[in-house]
Amino acid sequence: MSIVTVRWGILGTGGIADTFAGDLPLVEGAELAAVGSRRLETARAFAERHGATRAHGSWADLAADPDVDVIYVATPHAAHYAAAMTCLAGGKAVLCEKPITLDHASAARLVEEARTRNLFLMEAMWMRCNPAIRAVAQAIAHGAIGEVTTITADFGLQGPFPPAHRLRDPALGGGALLDLGVYPINLVHLILGAPAAVRSWAHLTPEGADETTGVLLGYESGAVAALTCGINGATGNTASITGTTGRIDLPAGFYVPRSYAITRAGREPEIVEFPFPGRGYQYEAAEVQRCLGAGLPESPLMPHQTTLEILTLMDEIRAQIGVVYAA
């Protein structure tokens, strides 16, 4: 069976774009065709580093490129909406970095635009495409640890970061919640869905971004989740899912694991390994290509409804902790 080539464009030339481009050759049938940036010289330098055929000096030019099938949006958070909308207006399928936008309302507009144009749109939550994470979700669904009762997860980076850094600047969508907290929240949502109740607390920077945030989620089943994120200290970056008959532990870097440990009552822990090359971004790219080949408008691994439910939850958390982004 022949493999159909999928021609990728990358919008943005920062670190995440570099990493994605580095993993793209691991995906069968993927071709990096073009890159777009607001500065042509930056796009050309990126294209030369990664072997892209063409470089464009504007988002619109990339979106209009007839030899691009799908565009990966890799800008800072605050530019996701405008960049993704430009790509959809150009008739392109879109994989947009997380969080897909800063709030539920703008994400809903993107989803509506994609549906109106009959174009594929997916939030680039690479964790949900990771083989170990998918195996964990499947094991839990099949009753491997009984009924889930508790989930804990943390994601903290060592600071300090200067005020203009993207992790701290509210104008760029900065703060721990949208950049880091989105991972613990996605993990919990994958296992338990949308919560019945949420309580949050945060310490804010002088600029108004959340520096350290804690979230407690409650579920109708009786399950609870305790999540933390921060940009002022390196936490363990681990996660633990406890059920009535066992526990699953994800190691440091739980959002891109190559293994997990399962401990059942009365037994020694069992390590289940999922080694892979690269950084792990190839799995979301492969999922996009699978969906495009099947004619799907969204991915079952990261459907539109999940994106919207998680942004609704993060909107509520931001309201509780007092983080406001400019309209």
Query: Is residue 308 situated within a structural domain?
Result: no
User: Is 317 within the bounds of a domain?
Assistant: no
Domain assignment present for 314: no
Structure tokens at 149: 């009762």
How is residue 102 written in tokens? 């800063």
Residue 3 has pLDDT above 80, yes or no: no
Q: What is the pLDDT of residues 91-108, one digit of tens each?
A: 999 999 999 999 999 999
What's residue 126's pLDDT? Answer: 98
pLDDT band, very low/low/confident/very high, at 115 (cuts 50, 70, 90): very high
Q: Is 6 helix (H, G, I), strand (E, B) or coil?
A: strand
Q: What is the pLDDT of residue 1?
A: 39
Is there a single domain that holds both residue 107 and residue 166? Answer: no
Same domain, 258 and 169: yes
Do 118 and 138 reside in the same domain of the chain?
no
Q: Do 76 and 37 fall within a single domain?
A: yes
> Does residue 311 belong to any structural domain of this protein?
no
What residues are annotated to the active site? 98
- Residue type (1 letter), 4: V
The answer to the question of residue 169 being in a domain is yes
Q: What is the CATH number of the domain that holds 246?
A: 3.30.360.10
Q: What is the pLDDT of residues 22-52, one digit of tens each?
A: 999 999 999 999 999 999 999 999 999 999 9
Q: For the segment 210-257, what is each residue's pLDDT rounded down to a tens digit?
A: 999 999 999 999 999 999 999 999 999 999 999 999 999 999 999 999
Amino acid letter, 97? E
Q: Indicate the pTM of the whole model.
A: 0.97
- How far is it, in rounded angstroms, from Cα 121 to Cα 70? 9
Mean local confidence (pLDDT), 165-189: 96
d(CA 37, CA 184) in angstroms, rounded, equals: 31
Average pLDDT on 143-158 reads: 98
Mean of per-residue pLDDT scores for the chain: 97
Same domain flag for 106 and 192: no
Q: How many domains does the chain have?
A: 2
Whether 244 is in a domain gets the answer yes
- Pair 107, 206 in one domain: no
CB 52 within 8 A of CB 34: yes
Q: How many residues does the chain have?
A: 327
51: left (phi over 0), alpha (psi -120 to 50) or beta: left
DSSP string, 259-285: EEEEEETTS--EEEE---SSSSTHHHH
- Kindly tell me if the per-residue pLDDT of 4 is higher than 90: no
